[in-house]
Amino acid sequence: MALATKDVVGILSDNLRMRGSVLPISARRATRWASDLHLPRGGRTVLYTGMMYQLIPYVEQLNRLQARVAGSRLSRYVGAARVANRAVRGFGMTLVARPSADQRAELDRVPANVARLLRAAGVDFGYLYEDDFYSGALAYDLGSDEVVAGHARRVAAIFAKHGVQEVITIDPHTTTMLRSVFPKFVDSYDVQVRSYLEVLADRPEHGRTADRPAQGEVVVHDSCVYARYEDVIEAPRQLLATAGVTVREPEQSRKLTWCCGGPAESLYPEKAAAVATQRVEQLRAVAPDCVTMCPICLVNLRKSANGRLSVRDISEYLVAPLPS
């Protein structure tokens, strides 16, 4: 294997077990998006970010670093990094260049957009702040089930503590973990989990503005996980149409969507990059503007497009018609 896969998996698993996140970012950093929104703490229904949009800029930087480390003399030290990482909080992060302020601000805006949309649709919800943990998706994908099982029970206990019965998610990976994976690991897990896209699509009578200026044409890129794991396909299209966007379909869409290049945290970035390039070409052939609904798709496609295709999160289009 090109990298010490087992050690990389180990570092991520250790972090999840000890710190509740595959990469240790501070609770202040992870909850900053909500600082001006005055969301109530906890409640029957909560907006659960799983820290995905907040983490992705950091994961992408880790990924760039990893691409440089793989195959270099540095790769032999990955095992030692795991030992250090166990002892020193954030050791892994000291290796990682910080993402740009612009990129962090853009990704932080997504959960804030979602909160605005839910409010406009009349949904009553709270937020768990520092108890809003990462879902464990990456550790699960890599096969660290024992670690994920412990994490799932920890998150379920937090839901119980706050009396949470309904969870509204923002990204596909958190959605599938909380909806389809956690029930395998937690006895009597009884939480309804829906993506905000599904919640909003179920309330078409709310959140509409009388005067919807047209937002032009965009090509839609379905997330593999939303489309093939969770069957979230029509809701985003319906919402975009309601927001005045003309949706165009690429060569492969819906259930047959083409992967964006996969997890930004892929252990084999070179292979994933080739897949991303192919997808960018399919999307560019249809429209110059692309809409994504997953933070991993967003950063992967944008990086691969390198300016040849504009890529924006779906929430940016959906909030546009709301009164500011």
By CB under 8 A, name the binding residues for another protein.
1-2, 5-6, 9, 140-145, 224, 228-229, 255-256, 258-259, 261-263, 266-268, 271-272, 274-275, 278
Give the span between the Cα atoms of 324 and 322, in whole angstroms.
Answer: 6
Closer by beta carbon to another protein, 154 or else 228: 228
Closer by beta carbon to another protein, 164 or else 225: 225
Closer by beta carbon to another protein, 31 or else 75: 75
Closer by beta carbon to another protein, 117 or else 297: 297
Query: Smallest distance, Å, CB 274 to another protein?
Result: 8
Query: Smallest distance, Å, CB 19 to another protein?
Result: 20
Nearest to 297 by CA among 217, 219, 237: 219
Closer by beta carbon to another protein, 2 or else 27: 2
Query: Smallest distance, Å, CB 59 to another protein?
Result: 15
What would the two tokens of residue 274 be? 């080739």
Give the span between the Cα atoms of 10 and 5, in whole angstroms.
Answer: 8
Closer by beta carbon to another protein, 177 or else 318: 177
246 DSSP β-pair partners = 217
Asked if 69 and 75 count as a contact pair (C-beta separation under 8 A), the reply is: yes
Closer by beta carbon to another protein, 33 or else 226: 226
Query: Smallest distance, Å, CB 225 to another protein?
Result: 8
Query: Smallest distance, Å, CB 287 to another protein?
Result: 21
Q: Which long-range contacts (CB under 8 A, 24 or more apart) does 120-125 make?
A: 120/206, 120/207, 120/322, 121/199, 121/200, 121/203, 121/206, 121/207, 122/203, 122/206, 122/207, 123/45, 123/168, 123/199, 123/203, 124/43, 124/45, 125/39, 125/43, 125/45, 125/46, 125/47, 125/168
Query: Smallest distance, Å, CB 264 to another protein?
Result: 11
Q: Exposure of 307 by Cβ count < 10 A (0-12 exposed, 13-18 middle, 19+ buried)?
A: exposed
Cα 63 to chain centroid, rounded: 16
Strands (E), the chain: 45-48, 126-127, 166-169, 192-195, 216-220, 245-248, 289-292, 310-313
Query: Smallest distance, Å, CB 6 to another protein?
Result: 6
